[in-house]
């Protein structure tokens, strides 16, 4: 029987893949979005920053920031699930020195955001659920919350064109 | 017609939004339920590192600001506004290096809701990059 891989090796491989995926996108870096990983589950984290404010009187997060955060969470979660098998099998090897050519990201066709309450000036979280992912198209739903997981401040649905395997 | 004093305040409000300033947005028109805002190309907005195309999220931020400005400039809305729902359709990738211009029209206003449509173009004005439709709150109606 094959011995299971040491846990550090598994974690190192998955974290390197996630880092390569996220660090490659300048706009994700600009917003300051990071991703928490538990197994294959990802949670987008948007740390609060003054530059993200849309209404200085309240103050509240900019609706566009909320939309962008939710969309980035959808795109990364979708890529992550699409690459998962290749990451696990080792056929996609993310060299930390940056020699690997990154796979293309899915392209957004449409994205619809439902603003349920105003975004407070504190950290926000988002998790995406892939409702359907075919060879060409995918449909993704995203939930965003701040202090309480059950009190969403926004939810969104989007459709994406999947990258063609190369 | 929209009251000039109210319009001036609304314009100042839009121009003071920290996130919009950070993205270099510039309000070029705002009156009577119509607004136009430009956003310069910037490498920090890139969503696809391979092509240099800006992220859909950056276009969303521009669309949201512009739709909000259109609502605030409408004579029937007396104060601020908040986004209830915004849907964006991405028709094509914006050409890297080009400025994005968004134009929003608030085409119907009830006592509580403003309905808005917007279009975003790069330098090719014939082929929009994205369109948006949204619903916004109406505040302080008489």
Q: Chain A neighbours among B 39-58 (CB < 8 Å)?
A: 43-50, 54-58
Residue B102 lies in a domain: yes
User: What ipTM was estimated for this complex?
Assistant: 0.92
* pLDDT, average across residues B85-111: 96
- pLDDT on residue A100: 59
| Structure confidence at residue B1 as a pLDDT band (50, 70, 90) | low
A2: number of Cβ within 10 Å = 4
- pLDDT on residue B113: 96
Residue B114 lies in a domain: yes
Residue A152 lies in a domain: yes
Per-residue pLDDT reduced to its tens digit, A9-30:
999 999 999 999 999 899 999 9
Chain A neighbors of B62, CB-CB under 8 A: 64
Residue A155 lies in a domain: yes
Residue A98 pLDDT greater than 60, yes or no: no
Please give the mean pLDDT across all residues of chain B.
Answer: 93
CB-CB under 8 Å, A54 with B17 = yes
Per-residue pLDDT reduced to its tens digit, A77-89:
999 999 999 888 8
Per-residue pLDDT reduced to its tens digit, B53-89:
999 999 999 999 999 999 999 999 888 899 999 999 9
Q: Which chain B residue's Cα is nearest to A73?
A: B57
Residues 6 or more apart whose CB falls under 8 angstroms from that of A14 comprise A37, A87
Residue B91 pLDDT greater than 80, yes or no: yes
Residue A2 lies in a domain: no
Q: Is A100 helix (H, G, I), strand (E, B) or coil?
A: coil
CB-CB under 8 Å, A30 with B17 = no
On the CB side of B98, CA atoms within 13 Å amount to 16
Alpha carbon distance B25, B18 (integer Å)? 10
Residue A1 lies in a domain: no
Give me the domain span that covers residue B110. Answer: 4-137
- pLDDT on residue A117: 95
Per-residue pLDDT reduced to its tens digit, A107-120:
999 999 999 999 99
How many structural domains comprise chain A?
1
Residue A57 lies in a domain: yes
How far is CA A46 from each of CA A12, A34, A35, A70, rounded to the nearest angstrom?
23, 7, 9, 10
Residue B86 lies in a domain: yes
CB-CB under 8 Å, B48 with A104 = yes
Backbone angles phi, psi at A21, to 5 degrees: -65, -45
A125 DSSP β-pair partners: A45, A145
CATH code, domain carrying A142:
3.10.129.10
Residue A101 pLDDT greater than 70, yes or no: no
Q: Which residue among B17, B47, B68 places its CB closest to the CB of A27?
A: B47
- pLDDT on residue A152: 98
Find out whether B17 and B23 touch, Cβ atoms under 8 Å. no
How far is CA A161 from each of CA A16, A78, A121, A138, rounded to the nearest angstrom?
25, 11, 33, 7
| Structure confidence at residue A1 as a pLDDT band (50, 70, 90) | low
Which of A24, A54, A64 best tests the B interface by mutation, with the highest count of B CBs <10 A? A64
Residue B115 lies in a domain: yes
CB-CB under 8 Å, B62 with A115 = no
Q: Which residue among A51, A71, A102 places its CB closest to the CB of B56?
A: A71
- pLDDT on residue B3: 82
CATH code, domain carrying B45:
3.10.129.10
The shortest C-alpha distance from A100 to chain B (Å) reads 13
Chain B neighbors of A113, CB-CB under 8 A: 60, 83, 85-87
Backbone angles phi, psi at B38, to 5 degrees: -110, 155
- pLDDT on residue A97: 60
How many structural domains comprise chain B?
1
- pLDDT on residue B140: 72
Q: Does B102 touch chain A (CB under 8 A)?
A: no
Per-residue pLDDT reduced to its tens digit, A19-68:
999 998 999 999 999 999 999 999 999 999 999 999 888 899 999 999 99
DSSP H/E element including A157: strand A152-161
| Structure confidence at residue A91 as a pLDDT band (50, 70, 90) | confident
């Amino acid at each position: 029987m094959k011995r299971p891989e040491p846990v550090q090796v598994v974690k190192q491989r998955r974290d390197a893949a996630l880092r390569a995926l996220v660090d490659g996108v300048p706009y994700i870096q600009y917003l300051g979005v990071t991703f928490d990983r538990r197994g294959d589950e990802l949670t987008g984290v948007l740390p609060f920053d003054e530059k993200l404010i849309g209404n200085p009187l309240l103050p509240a997060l900019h609706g566009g920031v909320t939309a962008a955060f939710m969309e980035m969470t959808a795109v990364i979660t979708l890529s992550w699930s699409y690459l998962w098998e290749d990451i696990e099998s080792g056929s996609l090897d993310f060299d930390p020195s940056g020699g690997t050519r990154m796979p293309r990201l899915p392209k957004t066709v449409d994205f619809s955001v439902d603003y349920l309450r105003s975004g407070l000036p504190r950290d926000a979280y988002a998790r995406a659920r892939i409702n359907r992912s075919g060879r060409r198209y995918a449909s993704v739903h995203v939930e965003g919350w701040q202090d309480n997981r059950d009190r969403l401040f926004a939810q969104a649905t989007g459709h994406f064109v999947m990258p063609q395997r190369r | 017609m929209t009251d000039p004093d109210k319009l001036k305040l609304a314009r100042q409000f839009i121009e003071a939004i920290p996130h919009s300033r950070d993205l270099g947005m510039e309000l070029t028109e705002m009156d009577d339920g119509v607004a136009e805002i430009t956003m310069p190309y910037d490498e920090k907005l890139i969503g696809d590192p391979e092509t240099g195309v800006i992220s859909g999220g950056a276009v969303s931020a521009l669309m949201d600001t512009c739709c909000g400005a259109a609502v605030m400039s409408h004579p029937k809305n007396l104060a601020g506004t908040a986004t209830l729902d915004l849907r964006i359709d991405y028709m094509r990738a914006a050409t890297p290096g080009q400025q994005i211009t968004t134009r929003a029209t608030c085409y119907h206003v009830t006592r509580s809701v403003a309905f808005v449509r917007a279009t975003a173009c790069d330098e090719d004005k014939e082929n929009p990059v994205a369109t948006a439709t949204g619903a916004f709150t109406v505040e302080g109606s008489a």
